[in-house]
């Protein structure tokens, strides 16, 4: 089959690989009908996340049709079912899964010993995302083996298109969790840093959850326009001071709730000298992350407020203002998304027409164009916001 394969920094190729096979009774194999490129894939593209190996298949936003089921799937899935595959592989029966903390499932990471060394304790297995989280082949391919398939799936209701359902795999629940863990109240100003696909979903979620105002921060005009379409007030950080504007919009008190949808690859610019220093340190392996957005958030957030971090951080971040964080009494909530915690609720909202996540798709191309689309998405060319690949 064809698949998008990681060969090294900025080197993703559309290779011919052998088809995946059922290994374990709880596995299933799907024929992929749609898959997407995520901002998290860009971190791998840039080789910032440790423990990638040449030959790893990319992709963790995938859906398709079940073509083979193992003997242990116990009737939970059958051939022909249409499913979305959550990016977190879950067993459904461990202590964490039972609490709804699916992204830290204790069972599914097949390289637990590595994760324990690096994180202290293991987290869930993830598709197409480093050997620290199991090194499971990803779904930017014609076929995908789904481990623990009896639990790791989302059935697609009849009548829902691929485009409407696909983002239940990751970015929709990610944006939703980012907003939900802010405990939004009717008087709240919610500020969202980053208007990529995750930021767009977080903005819509904060609107649905009833924030008084939602403020969106980025520098890319087409993404800011999309944020405005979703009901946000926008700040272009190339043109205006984020801190001043946010204070202006909140009677000088700062937003109660801040969501970091940027992550550790904050934009590098001379206007933000800390980002240049971070980049230099990254180059010589003195620091892993560029946490400019996070520093700004801690600085501008209202005392007693909540900082929600769906954006990915990879390792060590320097000069995070712990003094401000502590003295202002901020609450931090973060994590890879507990996808299945939100599934039924969000599926319902799509079915009812409350939201249609397909608005974010700007490019739909065959799988073979994947390598060049990684570039276009990274370089923000052709007004690219979200790429869907059709194998």
Partner 1 sequence: MFHFSNLVRSKGDPKIIATGPSSLTAADRLARGLGWFSIALGTLELLAPHRVTRALGMEGREGLVRAYGVRELLTGVMTLSVEKKAGLWSRVAGDGLDMATLLGEVRPSNPRVGTVMAALVMVGGITVLDYLAAQDVARQHDARRGRKRLYFDRSGFPKGVTAARGAAALPRPTSTPAAT
Ligand X SMILES: NC(=O)c1ccc[n+]([C@@H]2O[C@H](COP(=O)([O-])OP(=O)(O)OC[C@H]3O[C@@H](n4cnc5c(N)ncnc54)[C@H](O)[C@@H]3O)[C@@H](O)[C@H]2O)c1
Rule CB under 6 A: is residue 337 a binding residue for ligand X? yes
Rule CB under 5 A: is residue 260 a binding residue for Zn ion? no
Binder of ligand X out of 52, 144, 215, 262 (CB under 6 A): 262
d(CA 166, CA 62): 7
The bridge status of strand 331-334 relative to strand 233-236 is: unpaired
The single-letter DSSP state of residue 272 is B
d(CA 144, CA 135): 13
Which one of ligand X, Zn ion, partner 1, none interacts with residue 125, CB within 5 to 8 A by kind? none
Considering only residues 147 to 176 of the shown chain, the ones binding ligand X according to CB under 6 A are 170-171, 174
d(CA 362, CA 385): 6
- CB-based burial of residue 371 (10 Å sphere; 0-12 exposed, 13-18 middle, 19+ buried)? middle
Strand partners, 306: 257, 331
Considering only residues 311 to 350 of the shown chain, the ones binding partner 1 according to CB under 8 A are 341-342, 349
Nearer to ligand X, 70 or 108 (CB): 108
Give the three-class secondary structure for 22: coil
Which one of ligand X, partner 1, Zn ion, none interacts with residue 107, CB within 5 to 8 A by kind? Zn ion
Half-sphere exposure (CA, 13 Å, Cβ side) for 345?
12
- The answer to whether the beta carbons of residues 175 and 202 sit under 8 Å apart is yes
Closest CA to 275 of 254, 294, 298: 294
Kindly write out the interface string for residues 188-207 of this chain, putting x where it contacts partner 1 by CB under 8 A and - elsewhere: ------------x---xx-x
Nearer to ligand X, 241 or 327 (CB): 241
Which one of Zn ion, ligand X, partner 1, none interacts with residue 26, CB within 5 to 8 A by kind? none
Name the one range near partner 1 by CB under 8 A: 3-11, 251-259, 305-313, 324-332: 3-11
Sequence-distant (6+) residues with CB within 8 A of 350 are: 160, 164, 165, 168, 356, 357
Sequence-distant (6+) residues with CB within 8 A of 31 are: 64, 65, 67, 142, 143
Closest CA to 28 of 66, 59, 84, 76: 66
Rule CB under 8 A: is residue 20 a binding residue for partner 1? yes
Which one of ligand X, Zn ion, partner 1, none interacts with residue 337, CB within 5 to 8 A by kind? ligand X
Rule CB under 6 A: is residue 22 a binding residue for ligand X? no
Considering only residues 207 to 246 of the shown chain, the ones binding ligand X according to CB under 6 A are 217-220, 223, 237
Binder of partner 1 out of 7, 76, 267, 390 (CB under 8 A): 7
Binder of partner 1 out of 37, 141, 146, 165 (CB under 8 A): 141
Kindly write out the interface string for residues 150-189 of this chain, putting x where it contacts Zn ion by CB under 5 A and - elsewhere: --------------------x-------------------
Q: How far is the CB of 362 from partner 1 (least distance, A)?
A: 8
Name the one range near ligand X by CB under 6 A: 28-36, 149-157, 262-270, 355-363: 262-270
Considering only residues 58 to 77 of the shown chain, the ones binding partner 1 according to CB under 8 A are none
Rule CB under 5 A: is residue 123 a binding residue for Zn ion? no
CA R_g for the chain: 20
| Sign, Cα dihedral of 93, 94, 100, 101 | negative
Alpha helices in 68-132 (DSSP H): 95-99, 112-119
Rule CB under 8 A: is residue 362 a binding residue for partner 1? yes
- CB-based burial of residue 361 (10 Å sphere; 0-12 exposed, 13-18 middle, 19+ buried)? middle
Name the one range near partner 1 by CB under 8 A: 151-159, 177-185, 235-243, 310-318: 177-185
Q: How far is the CB of 192 from Zn ion (least distance, A)?
A: 17
Kindly write out the interface string for residues 88-117 of this chain, putting x where it contacts Zn ion by CB under 5 A and - elsewhere: ---x--x--x-------x-x----------
- CB-based burial of residue 7 (10 Å sphere; 0-12 exposed, 13-18 middle, 19+ buried)? middle
Half-sphere exposure (CA, 13 Å, Cβ side) for 191?
30
Rule CB under 8 A: is residue 269 a binding residue for partner 1? no
Residues that bind ligand X (CB under 6 A): 38-40, 42-43, 170-171, 174, 193-199, 217-220, 223, 237, 261-263, 266-267, 292-293, 310-312, 336-337
């Amino acid at each position: 089959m064809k698949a998008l394969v990681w060969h090294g920094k900025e080197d993703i190729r559309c290779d011919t690989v052998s088809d995946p096979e059922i290994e374990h009774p709880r596995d299933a194999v799907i024929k992929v009908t749609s898959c997407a490129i995520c901002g998290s894939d860009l971190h791998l593209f840039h080789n910032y996340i440790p423990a990638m190996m040449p030959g790893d298949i990319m992709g963790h936003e995938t859906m398709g049709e079940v073509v083979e089921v193992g003997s242990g799937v116990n009737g939970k899935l059958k051939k022909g079912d249409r499913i979305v595959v959550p990016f977190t592989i879950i067993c459904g029966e461990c202590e964490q899964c039972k609490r709804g903390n699916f992204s830290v499932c204790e069972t599914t990471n097949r390289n637990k010993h590595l994760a324990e060394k690096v994180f202290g304790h293991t987290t869930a297995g993830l598709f197409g995302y480093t050997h620290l989280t199991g090194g499971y082949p990803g779904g930017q391919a014609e076929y995908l083996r789904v481990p623990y398939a009896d639990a790791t799936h989302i059935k697609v209701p009849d009548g829902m298109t691929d485009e409407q359902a696909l983002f239940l795999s990751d970015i929709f629940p990610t944006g939703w969790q980012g907003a939900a863990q802010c405990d939004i109240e009717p008087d709240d100003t919610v500020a969202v840093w980053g208007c990529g696909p995750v930021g767009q979903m977080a903005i819509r979620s904060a609107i649905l959850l009833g924030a008084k105002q939602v403020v969106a921060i980025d520098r890319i005009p087409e993404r800011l326009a999309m944020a405005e379409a979703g009901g946000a007030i926008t700040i272009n950080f190339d043109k205006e001071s984020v801190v001043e504007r946010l204070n202006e919009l909140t009677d000088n008190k700062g937003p109660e709730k801040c969501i970091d949808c940027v992550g550790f690859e904050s934009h590098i610019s001379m206007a933000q000298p800390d980002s240049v220093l971070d980049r230099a340190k990254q180059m010589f392996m003195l620091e892993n992350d560029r946490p400019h957005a996070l520093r700004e958030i801690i600085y501008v957030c209202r005392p007693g407020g909540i900082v929600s971090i769906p954006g990915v951080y990879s390792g060590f971040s320097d000069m995070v203002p712990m003094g401000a964080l502590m003295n202002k009494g901020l609450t931090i909530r973060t994590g890879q998304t507990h996808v299945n915690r939100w599934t039924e609720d969000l599926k319902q909202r799509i079915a009812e027409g409350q939201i249609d996540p397909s608005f974010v798709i700007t490019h739909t191309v065959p799988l073979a164009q994947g390598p060049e689309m990684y570039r276009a998405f990274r370089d923000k060319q052709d007004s690219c916001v979200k790429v869907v690949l059709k194998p």
